[in-house]
Structure 1
Amino acid sequence: MALAGNQYLESRFPWIPNHGYVLTLKADRLEELERDLAGNSICSQAIPKIPMAMRRKPMLCFLSTKKGYLTHVARSVVYYAAESGKDKLEIWNLILFAKPVSIARIRSKIEGRQGWRARKAITGGHVSSVAFDLIMAALLQVDPEAAKFAEGLINRSSPPSDTTPNNAKINWAYQRDAVITSLEIAGIPKEQLKIKSQLDENSSDELTSIFDINETVTTIEDLAILQDLDNTNEDWVFVKRQHYPAKTFVNGEAKLTVILANKLPLEMQLGVDLIYVNETMKSVVFVQYKMFAGTDGEDGYRPNDQLAIEIERMHEAAATLAGVATDESCDGYRFGSDPFFLKFCSKLLSHETGSHVPGIYVPVGYWKRLLKAVTRQGVRGGTVVHAETFGKRYFTPTHFIDMVARGWAGTSALQTDVLAPYLRDMLAGKKGVVLAIKSPLPANPMDEDEGLPTHHRVVKPKKPRYPGRKPKTVEI
């Protein structure tokens, strides 16, 4: 059975639950949770309070949507209390059993001196450590296939031998994620980027970008994609004349040029920004990356002086953009005036798939408000922000990519020219910058002469979100 919201399974770090929970839900409530999973890759349900000692510890959750049967299994954890005075159960990696498993049959197979605890727990509620082991053993006897699904959520593998988050590894992962995100915004298959997700331990210490090992990369001065920018603002000439590694990706009518503006080895870089220039929609978006500390991001993020400096730079740029005349055109309409975003992510050094690193996107303007409202303090004092701090007030990578691709976020068309000095200052600094510029491919004169369509786009059907499940039929 394929997994939904599976970013956590992409980690090479252990996830070993020693207790569990049996959650009984109505079918309509399950549909609501599945919609949350589809959009956020995680959902939550209020439950009676569990022992305080069990909070923040991995917990395998069995779900029952059919009376007398277990129908699903998922990963879960309790971090905080719910507003109703109950506990808030966070759920992800929801898996539907091939067939419902009889609770009565599981109870009949439970054995041992503590069997009474397990037989009581399987009917609903928190499952203690002792009862959890007995239930897992009984499930294996009753339905080996269902037990395999449950066991598949448990990761007992040891962490990699070298997990030191040095600058080189972090910046490699940031660069790759920025490029992957750019490809997905442009609608270009991410498989075109054949770059390992993690920095090879045997790589040269002189690498300055993920493109340094790619022989097809050219320097920016060889690219014609920026030629039209020279005619609008001479500040863009500075960008074009820099000898930065760049690569162009093409898919149908979409053309994306990615520029990795780095002049220092990865080890010496201070971080990576993504600047996405959408020439089609005449918008520019800036993304600053930040990482949650800890194996699973459990240690949160501590705002520091460096972030304050970066936000001040964004504030100065935003103040300049605010002075630009309002764009009254339909193409110039945006949801908001803030083109600056922060992306918070964990699993950075354990991400092994071809997609982007799962994370949380928030506009910088909202981040400023959130920072003032945060009251949770770290062990050593100071403000600490966790993923849970954002609640549902954030954009998932899927939301962000779709929003930028459709031109709902970013600068207006009239603000583009004033951004050149800001980009020049960033490219001249010590920070690594990923500049991605999407442009439509020019029409083919031969096609026009022959009266043929300019482009021949092949639209592949979307992959099902839940492979193996029959699509729902909606009658109107």
Structure 2
Amino acid sequence: MAFIVNLSSDELNDNLEKFRIEQRLTKSRPKSLSIDPALDGPPMVLLVGETPAGADGVRSRWLAWLGIAARHGTVGAVDKSITVDPLRECMTAIPLDGHNGILSDLPENLRREFDLAAPLGTVGACSNSVWQALERALRARFPELGSLLDWLLAQADPPVFENNPADHSWQEQRDATGNLLRIAEFPLSALAAWRRPPARDEPYTAGLIPQPVEHSLIDYAVRVAGDAFGMFSEWQQGSSFRCDINVLRDASGRQLEVVNVNATPVESRLGTDMLYYHEPTKSFVFVQYKRLPPDTRSIYVDERLKSQLDRLEATAKLSIPAARPSEWRLGGDPCFLKLAYWPRNTEKLPAHGLAHGMYLPTSYVRLLLEDESTRGRQSGSKARILGYDQVERHLTGTQFIDLVKHGLVGTVGTTREQLYALVKRRVKTGHSVVLATETSDESVRARQTRVRDRGARRRTYVHRTYKQEPIEGSDQ
């Protein structure tokens, strides 16, 4: 389906700078607008501009922006709302009306449906048949829009994760990627356009589709293997490691380098690790994923999990004592378990947002495993269980992300070389790793000011991708 937001030329011009900064839009829509199962397909949004009709009464409209309907909400007794996120400018004049207009390429019945769905000053909706015909016409007449359409449609109509090892691993890596973007405050859409990679063993980010164009910044969506990320570039050239690197840079110069790497077949992989390294403060946070069955939402603690806790505690020893106020942390726990679950997808619809789960510092897990609350259900049992029925308190995703953003958890004085050695060990022992390093010239005060700022901020960014070339003779 497609929502059509039709604004007058004056209203569009008045909001142009706001749209370019925020790259999103919330607009009221009538409660009477019918959105029924017949309006199927991806929830695309067409932002249309319209100049006043001339003496002949002929409309003059053009397609100005494209986006995705992220959600709908109630804003009052008369209207509901639609939030468009992401919203991107077409960057080329696309007339809709007249003999040269794109609507002339559509059959008459679809043109009529479009017109009925596009009253000036409000929001309408048309069927997927209209959108598909319009998409074909746009790709034929304006091939330069193809990459933008691919990027938007990959987010509007994402693949459904299924119940198999490859999809489970990609789910965990996707969740880790979303967490890292939230921590570093880059738009989630930056790494959200995804299609399944051609090989089951490839990293999640091998399937990402970078945004093709950004406003006010140079487009760096270059798919080459290069020397990005310095020490990790060796894994891109003839290595047995599967490594993809995405580099994001915002308008202030902050840079986030996201490395997704694994070295083992998915069937023998031990799980997913997430690491966030804030280079200015030489501090990292480590999260190891443990997948919970969605029905019980709990797991038995086996010897492997206990040995993993030992290794997490050894990793925490990379930290040194705080010597300055900016190095102070809430505790000595830079390592966490995320007990996560994904509900069974009975409707075969894509799951959005972060996975449900609890973040547990390793020292807290040790206490839990000594407490009666985690003892097995049978009388006298020595088994231990971790899950929602056993753990009374835990950090939510929002709480965890806020602590990391403010620098209140993490190691102190950890070097990139130590980080590299840690990642290499984890990959060699069978884990898939999603690592992000944030670099900037921000002072401690500037970082805190940015994190606390709740006002509108420019969401533009540069995106470079460094994708591993297939190894000669490999079937991957």
TM-score, normalised via structure 2 length: 0.50
Secondary structure of 2:288's aligned partner: strand
User: Residue 294 of structure 2: SS of its match in structure 1?
Assistant: coil
Question: Number of aligned pairs?
Answer: 271
Counterpart CA distance in 1 for 2:334 and 2:262 is: 23
Q: What are the superposed Cα offsets for residues 415-441 of structure 1, whole Å, 9 maximum, x if unpaired? A: 766444333312333211111111227
> 1:241 — aligned with what?
234
Q: Give me the whole-angstrom Cα distance separating, in 1, the residues matched to 2:294 and 2:183.
A: 29
Aligned to 2:424: 424
- 1:241 to partner: Cα distance: 2.0
Structure 2: state its 5+ residue gaps.
1-72, 78-159, 211-220, 237-242, 443-452, 459-476
User: Could you give the per-residue CA deviations for residues 311-330 of structure 1, whole angstroms, max 9, x where no partner exists?
Assistant: 121222334x36x4x22112
**What corresponds to 1:331 in structure 2?**
326
Amino acid at match of 1:261: V
Q: Secondary structure at the match of 1:247?
A: strand
Equivalent residue number for residue 205 of structure 2: 211
Cα RMSD (Å): 3.6
TM-fit CA distance, 1:376: 3.9
Superposed, 1:337-376 pairs within 5 Å as 337-347=332-342, 350=345, 352-373=350-371, 374-376=373-375
CA contact (8 A) 2:316 2:411 kept: no
Query: Residues 265 and 249 (structure 1 numbering): CA distance in 2 closer, same or farther, change over 3 Å?
Result: farther
Q: Deviations over 1:105-157 (max 9, x none)?
A: xxxxxxxxxxxxxxxxxxxxxxxxxxxxxxxxxxxxxxxxxxxxxxxxxxxxx
Matching residue's letter, 1:342? L
Aligned residue number for residue 456 of structure 2: 460
User: Superposition pairs for residues 44-443 of structure 1, below 5 Å?
Assistant: 165-196=163-194, 204-214=198-208, 222-224=226-228, 226-227=229-230, 237=231, 239-243=232-236, 244-253=243-252, 254-295=254-295, 298-319=296-317, 321=318, 324=320, 326-347=321-342, 350=345, 352-373=350-371, 374-378=373-377, 382-391=383-392, 393-413=393-413, 418-440=418-440
* Cα distance in 2 between the residues matched to 1:361 and 1:315: 16
Q: 1:375 to 1:400 in 2, by over 3 A?
A: closer
Q: Cα distance 1:314–1:438, how it changes in 2: closer, same or farther (>3 A)? A: same
Q: 1:171·1:271 contact (CA, 8 Å) conserved in 2? A: yes
Change in Cα spacing, 1:259 to 1:349, as seen in structure 2 (3 Å) is: farther
Give the 3-state SS of the residue equivalent to 1:285 in structure 2. strand
Aligned partners of 2:284 and 2:440: how far apart in 1? 16
Task: Give, in whole Å, the separation in 1 of the partners of 2:388 and 2:358.
Answer: 8
Aligned-partner Cα distance in 1 for 2:234–2:344: 33
Cα displacement string for residues 19-58 of structure 1 (whole angstroms, at most 9, x for unaligned residues): xxxxxxxxxxxxxxxxxxxxxxxxxxxxxxxxxxxxxxxx
Runs of 4+ in 1 over 6 A off after TM superposition: 217-221
Structure 1, gaps ≥5 residues long: 1-94, 100-161, 228-236, 443-456, 463-476
Contact 2:193 2:209 in 1 (8 A): no
Q: Distance in 2 between matches of 1:337 and 1:415?
A: 17
How far apart are the structure 2 equivalents of 1:215 and 1:328?
A: 43
Tell me what 2:86 maps to.
none
Q: Which amino acid is the alignment partner of residue 302 of structure 1?
A: Y
3-state SS, counterpart of residue 178 of structure 1: helix
Are 1:172 and 1:266, in contact at CA under 8 Å, matched by a contact in 2? no
- Cα separation, 2, equivalents of 1:299 and 1:179: 23
Determine the structure 1 residue equivalent to 2:50. none
CA distance in 2: counterparts of 1:327 and 1:417, whole angstroms: 20
Could you list the per-position Cα deviations for residues 136-185 of structure 1 after superposition, in whole angstroms to 9, with x for gaps in the alignment?
xxxxxxxxxxxxxxxxxxxxxxxxxx987432121110000000000000
Cα pair 1:220 1:242 within 8 Å, conserved = no
Distance 1:163 1:221 in 2: 28
Deviations 1:74-120, CA, capped at 9 Å, x for gaps: xxxxxxxxxxxxxxxxxxxxx99x99xxxxxxxxxxxxxxxxxxxxx
Q: Structure 1: how far apart are the matches of 2:179 and 2:282?
A: 18
What is the CA distance between 1:220 and its match in structure 2? Answer: 10
- Residue 210 of structure 1 and its aligned partner are, at CA, apart by 1.5
Residues 229-265 of structure 1: CA deviation (Å, up to 9, x unaligned): xxxxxxxx3x342221111123333321110111334
1:362–1:248 distance in 2 versus 1, CA, 3 Å: same
CA distance in 2, matches of 1:423, 1:389: 31
How far apart are 1:348 and its partner, in Å? 5.8
Mapped partners of 2:322, 2:412: distance in 1:
6
Identity of aligned residues (%): 24
Higher relative strand content: 2
- One-letter amino acid of the counterpart of residue 214, structure 1: L
Give the residue type in structure 2 aligned to 1:460: A
Q: Conserved in 2, the CA contact under 8 Å of 1:220 and 1:241?
A: no
Separation in structure 2 between the aligned mates of residue 345 and residue 308 of structure 1, nearest angstrom: 18
Supply the distance in 2 between the matched residues of 1:378 and 1:288 (Cα, whole angstroms): 26
CA contact (8 A) 1:285 1:410 kept: yes
- TM-score, with structure 1 as normaliser: 0.50
Counterpart CA distance in 2 for 1:458 and 1:315 is 36
Q: Distance in 2 between matches of 1:424 and 1:275?
A: 13
Q: 1:461 to 1:318 in 2, by over 3 A?
A: closer
Q: Partner amino acid for 1:247?
A: N
